[in-house]
């Protein structure tokens, strides 16, 4: 996951506050809320993408041998993202080991599967979990320590009938309304034209 310049600024400010607590402006608290929401959405999107890739991989595996090229490419992509090959992947690869890509992937998947089995038998986990499920909804970040004072009740959000409601946005004016067309100067009277 990559952060933009604005997100890094918010993250740096939040980390500085964690190390040296100081009162935070409402704007900084809102920035932290937005950043937390963006991170949550990125995690959910990554989970959806993993689920889609796994379903796609399964469809291609079920359609073998006709889908061999697509299956091998998808499996290679899945392995790059931490996918732990399953027994059905190993069985499918054994049937495709006559191709160079199939033989290379079979060797790689056998090593990964062996490491996974050894780690499970030892009761350990090596590295990040393989294809973790999408994170469930986590507790919403409601306030940061040192931010808005606990004694201050939150300001009510203005409703549609509130006097604080800003006026409705005006429609964007047309260019002809902003820059009226130029008027040509009136032609001189006929007698002046004849005199010159």
pLDDT at 40: 87
pLDDT at 28: 82
User: For residue 196, what are the CA distances in angstroms to 41, 57, 125, 168, 179?
Assistant: 78, 89, 101, 58, 35
Q: CA-CA distance, 136 to 69, in Å (whole number)?
A: 34
Interhelix angle 87-95/68-80, nearest 10 degrees? 140
Structure-token match 């499970």, residue found: 120
pLDDT at 180: 62
* 61 HSE (CA, 13 A, CB side): 19
Peptide bond into 65 cis (omega under 30): yes
Q: Which residues of the chain have pLDDT under 50?
A: 126-144, 147-151, 162, 165
pLDDT digits (tens, 9 = 90+) for 54-74: 899 999 998 888 888 889 999
pLDDT at 177: 65
pLDDT at 150: 46
Structure-token match 């690869």, residue found: 93
pLDDT at 193: 56
What letter does residue 65 receive in the DSSP assignment?
T
Q: Whole-model pTM? A: 0.48
pLDDT digits (tens, 9 = 90+) for 11-31: 888 888 788 888 878 888 888
pLDDT at 137: 45
The answer to whether the CB of 132 falls within 8 A of the CB of 84 is no
């Amino acid at each position: 996951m990559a952060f933009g310049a604005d997100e890094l600024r918010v993250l740096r400010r939040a980390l500085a506050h964690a190390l040296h607590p100081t009162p935070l402006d409402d704007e900084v608290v809102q920035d932290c809320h937005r950043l937390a929401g963006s991170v949550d959405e990125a995690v959910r999107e990554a989970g959806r993408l993993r689920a889609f890739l796994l379903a796609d991989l399964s469809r291609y595996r079920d359609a073998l041998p006709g889908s061999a090229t697509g299956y091998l490419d998808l499996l290679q992509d899945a392995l790059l993202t931490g996918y732990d090959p399953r027994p059905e992947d190993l069985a499918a690869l054994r049937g495709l080991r006559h191709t160079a890509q199939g033989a290379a992937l079979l060797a790689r998947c056998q090593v990964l599967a062996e490491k996974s089995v050894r780690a499970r038998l030892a009761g350990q986990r090596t590295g990040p979990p393989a294809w973790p499920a999408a994170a469930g909804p986590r507790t919403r970040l409601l306030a940061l320590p040192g931010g808005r004072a606990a004694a201050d009740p939150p300001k009510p959000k203005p409703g549609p009938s509130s006097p604080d409601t800003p006026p409705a946005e005006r429609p964007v004016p047309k260019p002809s309304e902003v820059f009226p067309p130029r008027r040509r100067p009136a032609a001189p009277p006929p007698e002046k034209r004849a005199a010159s």
